[in-house]
Amino acid sequence: MKNRNLQLSLYHLHIIVKDMSDIVDSFNSNELLPEALFVPIFKYMMVRTCAFYDEVTHQFLINAKSNEARFKKLQKIAEYIISERDKYFPDLYSIRNNVLAHNYRVRDKNKLISVFEYPMHFAFPKYAVEHVINIHLMNGLLSGIKYLYPEIHEIMNENISIPSENMSLTLIDGNNYQLIICEIDNTIQDIATK
């Protein structure tokens, strides 16, 4: 049963990342999205990002615990990915909980967040390059799972494809996203192969 739960959890993780990668890829296509769609799409992506990390911590890691040696490596990879996420986007859950889910209300308080403060005072993915880094972090965790749990990938539905690690970035220039992506890849490889 645990193997089936791992498969189902991994299926959910793949779907979330594939969905978000397709959105980012659409930003890089020649078709321009209407400006009015960017904000709702980015909000949707924040909700999906939180869903991804909730699935990892509340489902996959719980069901994976029976495999001690590789579980410890997976746990280290997950801790690293989550710490990187929190380093770059520490307010992701605050935005999801207080802005997107509770209509600009600070949870458990009778206080409103000013619409004018949002998004300036919160650190969460706002730009396409930040979403690329966010998706790369999620892909890094999926790569670690694939490396440590190959049998789960083998029996998963073959219609699900892992998003490309070389996503098109034609609209994104400047910034140091490539250095961030290399650092993430190197750290995951180091943890998984030790």
Q: Is residue 133 part of a domain?
A: yes
Own/partner pairs for 181-187, CB < 8 Å, 24+ apart?
181/132, 181/133, 181/136, 184/81, 184/84, 184/136, 184/137, 184/140, 185/140, 187/80
Please give the average per-residue pLDDT across 23-37, as a whole number.
Answer: 66
Give the confidence band of 103 by pLDDT, cuts at 50, 70, 90: low
Residue 96 lies in a domain: no
pTM of the entire predicted model: 0.73
Region 145-169 average pLDDT: 60
- Which structural domain range is residue 137 located in? 2-89+125-193
Q: What is the mean pLDDT of residues 35-43?
A: 73
In a domain, 37, yes or no: yes
Say how far apart CA 128 and CA 90 lie, in whole Å. Answer: 17
Tell me if 155 sits within 8 A of 12, measured CB to CB. no
Instruction: Inform me whether the pLDDT recorded for 62 exceeds 80.
Output: yes
Number of structural domains in the chain: 1
Q: Which of the 8 DSSP states describes residue 119? A: T
- Inside any domain, residue 65: yes
Res 86 pLDDT > 60: yes
Highest-pLDDT range among 28-32, 50-54, 69-73: 50-54
The three-class DSSP label of residue 110 is coil
DSSP 142-179: HHHHHHH-HHHHHHS-TT--PPPSS---TT--SSSHHH
Contact 142, 83 (CB under 8 A): no
Does residue 79 fall inside a structural domain? yes
Q: pLDDT grade, residue 26 (50/70/90)?
A: confident
The verdict on residue 113 lying in a domain is no
Over the Cα atoms of the chain, what is R_g?
17
Q: Residue 139 domain-assigned?
A: yes
Residues 6+ apart with CB under 8 A from 114: 104
- 174 pLDDT above the threshold of 90: no
Q: Which residue is associated with the tokens 């980015």?
A: 42
